[in-house]
């Protein structure tokens, strides 16, 4: 456990840090001071430079200029091993454990205690792991395989790993993105205990309620630059948002008033045994319909099935009155449907390919001549949609993996919007992206509805559901249990239906 230190002591400091990747200036004159016994929040839009800064702290990237100090002494990080040796631990949004090894083996990977010269002392390793979890107040079994652990427990294993080499600085990059409310509270209790023991903690999140609940100071970044650092008690959400985006975000949910047209999408009695049953609804031209419910209610499974990604056992899906064959995404696309999936990295993009190649994946045959895709046609199509969606990128032939999360989401949208769909299905369209990009995505959805597109939106964010939907369909345990008009939808009415307490559709 880190040694105790008085709050206010500078544990790790950065000043004048710069980093460029070719012509892209990721960081320019960034400053940051992490104090012992403090949780310091770092906020900013996607593309503000947060990820680059984290990689510098982790030793993955070396800064082009600037200075790092640890306890006042100059610090040079030439790789991740240097960062670990200096007492810096980074916990990412998606933990990277070895699934077939035990919890204890993951914690001490590469640093196993030895019995004699060559044999691993498994008893000592288990005992040390048990001690670490006791410090954290977590009853995890050291011998349990990492496979099957929840994301929350995987993150606790990563924290235990950080404690095992006496980390003095803990960097947490979007640690709560995939956690439930109970899991978030448990994680927060652990973070507070580490802070009280003297650790300096950098907490990165898009969730303002968590930022203000956990942190003592907040640093705002914009366009790769430091904007401000202030005590959390002296700020409010509106001030932070203004500093993040450099402008007023007066309409995070810019919903246009549109007149719903004829029915475009019809879903009748859709059933997949053990997953969802007897789901039926309609979406009209120019309408945004939200599919709400708690995690595990079956929302994503329904939209994957109606697009043809997953099979279903009964029911039918019709577009413009024409029934679609099941399990054929190509037929759904031909009928004018588009699906922006929940997991953009695994299901929406090919991370190794370029931005322009990803943006045109759905248009390769229409753009080809005599079966051959010309580079010029691909580039022109990609430019049209990346410019319309204001994708911030260096060059279109850069790998899409180099983009921030928000800009990756825009590329997924560009890929599907270029097909000019009649029905746009968006599953968690703004998960993990910043407030400014959220407003842009919402404005685009509203604009598309105004142009006559039927939009079906799956969202776990109630403010997004209430702000953008003309109608709210609520699912509970695989069944559609409520339909609420926009003027009657409230957080209470949606949650009552989502927990099985509301009326039937």
Whether 316 and 432 share a structural domain = yes
DSSP-assigned beta bridge partners for residue 172: 91, 203
Whether 265 and 204 share a structural domain = no
Does some domain include residue 114?
no
Spatial separation of the C-alpha atoms in residues 340 and 338, rounded to whole Å: 7
Q: Strand (E) positions, 236-374?
A: 263-272, 276-284, 288-293, 314-319, 322-323, 337-340
What's the confidence (pLDDT) of residue 76? 93
Whether 275 and 358 share a structural domain = no
Spatial separation of the C-alpha atoms in residues 314 and 286, rounded to whole Å: 28
- Copy the structure tokens of residue 442: 């919402």
Per-residue pLDDT of the chain (505 residues; tens, 9 = 90+): 444 444 456 899 999 999 998 767 889 989 999 999 999 999 987 678 898 999 999 999 999 999 999 999 999 999 998 998 899 988 877 678 898 999 999 999 888 888 877 788 888 999 999 988 887 777 889 999 988 887 778 888 888 888 887 789 999 888 876 666 677 787 788 889 889 989 999 999 878 888 999 999 999 998 889 999 999 999 988 888 888 877 554 567 888 888 899 999 999 999 999 999 999 999 999 999 999 987 778 999 999 999 999 999 999 999 999 999 999 999 999 999 999 998 888 889 999 999 999 999 998 877 777 667 667 778 888 999 888 888 888 889 999 998 888 889 899 999 999 999 999 999 989 876 777 778 888 999 999 999 999 999 999 888 889 999 999 999 998 999 999 999 999 888 888 888 877 644 4
Spatial separation of the C-alpha atoms in residues 184 and 204, rounded to whole Å: 14
Spatial separation of the C-alpha atoms in residues 350 and 144, rounded to whole Å: 33
Does some domain include residue 57?
yes
The domain boundary, picked from 420, 449, 476, lies at: 420
Please provide residue 38's backbone torsions phi and psi, each rounded to the nearest 5 degrees: -145, 145
What's the confidence (pLDDT) of residue 71? 92
- Copy the structure tokens of residue 34: 């992490």
What's the confidence (pLDDT) of residue 256? 85
Spatial separation of the C-alpha atoms in residues 174 and 51, rounded to whole Å: 10
Does some domain include residue 174?
yes
Number of domains, the chain: 3
Domain range for 496: 258-336+421-505
Q: Please report, for the domain that includes residue 224, its CATH number.
A: 3.40.50.300
What's the confidence (pLDDT) of residue 502? 63
What's the confidence (pLDDT) of residue 1? 44
Does some domain include residue 492?
yes
Spatial separation of the C-alpha atoms in residues 356 and 376, rounded to whole Å: 11
Whether 407 and 426 share a structural domain = no
Spatial separation of the C-alpha atoms in residues 215 and 230, rounded to whole Å: 11
Whether 44 and 21 share a structural domain = yes
Spatial separation of the C-alpha atoms in residues 307 and 319, rounded to whole Å: 11
Whether 210 and 322 share a structural domain = no
Torsion of CA 306, 312, 317, 323, to 10 degrees: 120
What's the confidence (pLDDT) of residue 179? 63
Whether 286 and 267 share a structural domain = yes
Whether 267 and 226 share a structural domain = no
- Copy the structure tokens of residue 498: 């989502």
For residue 310, give the DSSP letter.
S
Whether 327 and 357 share a structural domain = no
The domain boundary, picked from 245, 280, 307, lies at: 245
What's the confidence (pLDDT) of residue 5? 42
């Amino acid at each position: 456990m880190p040694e105790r230190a008085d709050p206010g002591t500078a544990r790790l400091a950065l000043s004048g840090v710069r980093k460029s990747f070719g012509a892209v200036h990721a960081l320019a004159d960034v400053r940051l001071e992490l104090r012992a016994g403090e949780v310091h929040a770092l906020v900013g839009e996607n593309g503000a430079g947060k990820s680059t800064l984290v990689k510098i702290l982790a030793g993955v990237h070396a800064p082009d200029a600037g200075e790092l100090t640890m306890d006042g002494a100059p610090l040079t990080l030439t790789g991740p091993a240097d960062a670990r040796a200096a007492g810096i631990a980074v916990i990412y949004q998606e933990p990277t454990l070895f699934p077939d090894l035990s919890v204890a083996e993951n914690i001490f990977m590469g640093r196993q205690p030895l019995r004699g010269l060559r044999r691993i002392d498994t008893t000592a390793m288990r005992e040390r792991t048990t001690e670490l979890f006791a410090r954290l107040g977590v009853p995890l079994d050291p011998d349990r395989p990492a496979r099957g652990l929840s994301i929350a427990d995987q993150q606790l294993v990563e924290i235990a790993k950080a404690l095992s080499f006496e980390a003095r600085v803990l960097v947490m990059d979007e640690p709560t993105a995939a956690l439930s409310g109970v899991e978030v509270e448990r994680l927060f209790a652990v973070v507070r205990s580490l802070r009280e023991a003297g650790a300096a903690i950098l907490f990165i999140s898009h969730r303002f309620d968590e930022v203000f609940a956990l942190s003592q100071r907040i640093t705002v970044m914009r366009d790769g630059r430091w904007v401000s650092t202030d005590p959390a008690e002296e700020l409010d959400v509106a001030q932070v948002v203004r500093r993040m985006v450099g402008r007023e975000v007066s309409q995070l949910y810019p919903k246009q008033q549109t007149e719903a047209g004829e029915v475009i999408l019809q879903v009748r009695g859709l059933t997949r045994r053990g997953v969802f049953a007897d789901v039926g609804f309609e979406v009209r031209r120019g309408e945004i319909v939200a599919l709400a419910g708690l995690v595990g209610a079956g929302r994503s499974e329904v939209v994957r099935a109606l697009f043809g990604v997953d099979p279903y056992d009964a029911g039918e899906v019709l577009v413009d009155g024409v029934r679609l064959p099941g399990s054929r995404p190509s037929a759904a696309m031909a009928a004018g449907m588009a699906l922006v999936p929940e997991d953009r990295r695994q299901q929406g993009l090919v991370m190794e390919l370029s931005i322009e190649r990803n943006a045109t994946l759905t248009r390769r045959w229409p753009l080809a001549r005599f079966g051959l895709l010309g580079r010029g046609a691909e580039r022109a199509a990609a430019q049209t949609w990346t410019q319309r969606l204001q994708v911030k990128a260096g060059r279109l032939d850069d790998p899409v993996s180099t983009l921030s999360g928000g800009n990756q989401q825009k590329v997924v949208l560009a890929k599907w919007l270029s097909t000019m769909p009649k029905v746009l299905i968006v599953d968690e369209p703004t998960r993990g992206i910043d407030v400014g990009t959220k407003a842009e995505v919402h404005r685009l959805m509203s604009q598309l509805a105004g142009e006559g597109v039927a939009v079906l939106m799956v969202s776990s964010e109630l403010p997004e559901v209430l702000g953008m939907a003309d109608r709210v369909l609520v699912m509970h345990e695989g069944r559609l249990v409520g339909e609420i008009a926009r003027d009657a939808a409230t957080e209470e009415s949606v949650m009552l239906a989502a927990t099985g307490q509301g009326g039937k559709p």
